[in-house]
Amino acid sequence: MTLIMNTSKQNTNRLASNNRRAFSLMELIVVISITTLLMGLLMPALTSVRENARRVICGANQRQFGQALTMYSADHRNRLPIASVLDLAEPNPGELALVRSGSSGFSSFLAAGSYRSVPEPLAQSDWDGLGHLYKWHYCDSSDSFYCPSHKGEHTHEECKDKWDTKANSQPLYANYQYVGHKDWRTGRTRSLLQGNKLVLVTDAMQTKSDFSHGIGYNELRGDGSVSWIDNVIIRTQLSVEVPKDFLGMRNLDDLIYAIFSK
């Protein structure tokens, strides 16, 4: 009797084991297809979340510039840092993202050690535009001068070693363009006293790859406020390379002037 019961139990277990079959190839394909479909639906949303986070960091960088420019202006009788490209016989606003001219001839003026700690006239410095904020310790982090969404030339990884050298043989650029100390068409001096009527800093717009976010940009105004501006047209108006012909430079001048004159 016991033998019969054991045999019956073994047969039952064997039958149950046979019923627990593996996935068929078709079922596996269906599972993979559904997983791929779900990933395809989720990836754009995840990409959008990451880009929004980078926009926030970009805006925070510009807000830091606002605080630094406020302190600089208070220490310099309401004056803004000089952008030397606007003092040329032919102003070149396409270079407003320049932070260091790359003029190694200034190195003879620099004392040994940390050149940033040596007080000297601004005229003896190769720093320019927003670069003065770094030179005079109003903004101590070079990382703040670079947008996390930037994928073109002049990334922080590419440029970070050029910030703490005594001199550079090549110009140094940030990912942000600065309005400068004066209106390059009228000659009128710009000041933070203009408040929110003054656009101080925007994302760089020299070439298509400089336009970091593609569909818009952050802008800092004279009252310290930072806003995101939706604009899908700007990138179509920019060249792939830095314009060198008169018409290309004029078109870029008009575009940048319109941005800073809103």
What pLDDT, on a 0 to 100 scale, did the predictor assign at position 37?
A: 72
CA pair distance 105, 128, nearest whole angstrom: 15
Q: Is residue 180 part of a domain?
A: yes
Residue 124, in any domain of the structure? yes
- State which residues form the domain around 243: 45-260
The pLDDT assigned to 194 comes to 96
Which helix (H) or strand (E) segment is 217 a member of? strand 216-221
Both tokens of residue 196?
A: 């929110």
Residue 214 lies in a domain: yes
**Within a domain: 10:** no
Q: Is residue 96 within 8 Å of residue 256, measured between CB atoms?
A: yes
Residue 23 lies in a domain: no
- Average pLDDT score over residue span 93-100: 96
In this structure, what token pair is assigned to residue 65?
């510039």
* Token digits of residue 22: 């593996």
User: Does the pLDDT of residue 18 top 60, yes or no?
Assistant: no
What pLDDT, on the 0 to 100 scale, is given for residue 122?
Answer: 45
Neighbours of 173 (CB within 10 A): 26
Read off the pLDDT of each residue in 197-215 and give the average, rounded to a whole number: 95
Structure tokens, 164: 């703490």
Tell me the pLDDT tens digit for each residue of 118-169.
Answer: 444 444 578 999 999 999 999 999 999 999 999 889 999 999 999 988 877 8
Considering the domain boundaries, does residue 19 fall inside one?
no
- What is the C-alpha separation between 174 and 100, in angstroms, rounded? 9
Amino acid (1-letter code) at residue 7: T
The yes-or-no verdict on residue 229 having pLDDT over 70 is yes
The answer to the question of residue 142 being in a domain is yes
Q: Is residue 203 part of a domain?
A: yes
Contact, 201 vs 68, CB < 8 A?
no
**Could you tell me the pLDDT band of residue 14, with boundaries at 50, 70 and 90?**
low
Domain count, the chain: 1
Give the mean pLDDT of the chain.
84
Give mean pLDDT, residues 217-227: 98
Q: Is the pLDDT of residue 106 over 90?
A: no
Looking at residue 26, its pLDDT comes to: 76
- The model's pTM is 0.76
Paired sense of beta strands 172-173 and 176-178, if any: unpaired
Non-local (6+) Cβ contacts of 23 within 8 A are 31
Region label for 59, one of left (φ > 0), alpha (ψ between -120 and 50) or beta (otherwise):
alpha
In sequence order, which ranges of the chain are alpha helices (DSSP H)?
2-19, 25-75, 131-135, 156-159, 234-237, 246-260
Tokens of 54: 């980078």
SS3 191: coil
The stretch 182-196 carries a mean pLDDT of 96
